[in-house]
Structure 1
Amino acid sequence: MSYDSQHTDYRYRRESYDEDMRDVRDTREGGHYREEVYSKRVPAGKRTYFFDVKPTRSGDDYFITITESKRIDDHHYEKHKIFLYKEDFGKFIAAIHEVVQHIRKTYLPDYDFKDLPELTVPSRHARDEDEV
């Protein structure tokens, strides 16, 4: 059996609903759409960010897609997507937290980060003690 016959060819079409763009698996081409089980929309000017939880193909696990959708004009969007798997959740959150804190303390100490939650990251020593 060749590679092509073992894998489904997913073709996408674009749909937009009131500034909200979603990927839709084109069922006319035999594709399958994995519906998100949870979604958080974050509007930010001409950009909108979507944090979606989706099941894996097997349905036994879940991953996050982070999509940046930027409105180009009334009918067109440019989008960029990141897939984030469970084994990387902690590293991803820790890296974002570290980078934002660096910007906050080093470059923008007087800026009011009003929407920024305070995260407490336990020290490595404290985490090691919890595992014992």
Structure 2
Amino acid sequence: MDNGSNQRRIDSEYSLKMRAGKRRTYFFDVRRTKGDDFYITLTESTKKFNGDGYERHKIFLYKEDFNRFLSHLEETIDHVKENLMPEYDYDEFTRRHEEYEDEQADNGSFSDNGSDQLETDEDISW
């Protein structure tokens, strides 16, 4: 067996990257199985406080769970928004992030595809 077979790179069929603050990034990837089926990986990547790499947590979501997962996620978010913190401005961080992106674009140091940051889900060796 080839020593590199355990490090097999799995390419995404579709990928989104969402920055969440200065230290946290979320990756939403659609991947293909050997049997030509699809599943989603949700990855949270957090830069370690000591600056020595990233800590990652991954969830695998399969098609038979898509509808129930989305329904439960929406129900949970709605519960927080409507019952626990109805007065909170949930659009605050969206506005702040858009302002940050505009500021970075004006400074010429930000790109929408995230290429200014080396860390990507594809760089992760599991």
TM-score bin, normalised by smaller chain? 0.5 to 0.7
Q: Counterparts of 2:12 and 2:52 in 1: how far apart (Å)?
A: 24
Segments of 5+ residues of structure 1 without an aligned counterpart are: 1-7, 9-26, 116-132
CA shift at 1:76, angstroms? 0.8
Q: Deviations over 1:23-63 (max 9, x none)?
A: xxxx85224322001111111111101000000122x1100
In structure 2, the residue matched to 1:101 is 78
| 2:4 partner amino acid | E
Pair 1:29-2:4 in alignment: yes
State which of 32, 40, 43 in structure 2 corresponds to 1:67. 43
State which of 33, 44, 57 in structure 1 corresponds to 2:34. 57
Q: Give the TM-score of the pair, scaled to structure 1.
A: 0.62
Segments of 5+ residues of structure 2 without an aligned counterpart are: 95-126
Q: Which has the higher contact order (CA 8 A, sep 6+)?
A: 2
Identity of aligned residues (%): 42
Q: Give the TM-score of the pair, scaled to structure 2.
A: 0.64
In structure 1, the residue matched to 2:54 is 77
State which of 76, 85, 88 in structure 2 corresponds to 1:111. 88
Q: Counterparts of 2:5 and 2:76 in 1: how far apart (Å)?
A: 42
Q: Counterparts of 2:5 and 2:84 in 1: how far apart (Å)?
A: 51
Q: Counterparts of 2:72 and 2:81 in 1: how far apart (Å)?
A: 14
Q: Deviations over 1:77-109 (max 9, x none)?
A: 000000000000011110010001000111111
Q: Counterparts of 1:108 and 1:101 in 2: how far apart (Å)?
A: 10
Aligned CA RMSD, in angstroms, stands at 1.8
In structure 2, the residue matched to 1:90 is 67
Larger proportion of helix: 2
Q: Rg larger in 1 or in 2? A: 1
Larger proportion of strand: 1
Q: Counterparts of 1:30 and 1:50 in 2: how far apart (Å)?
A: 24
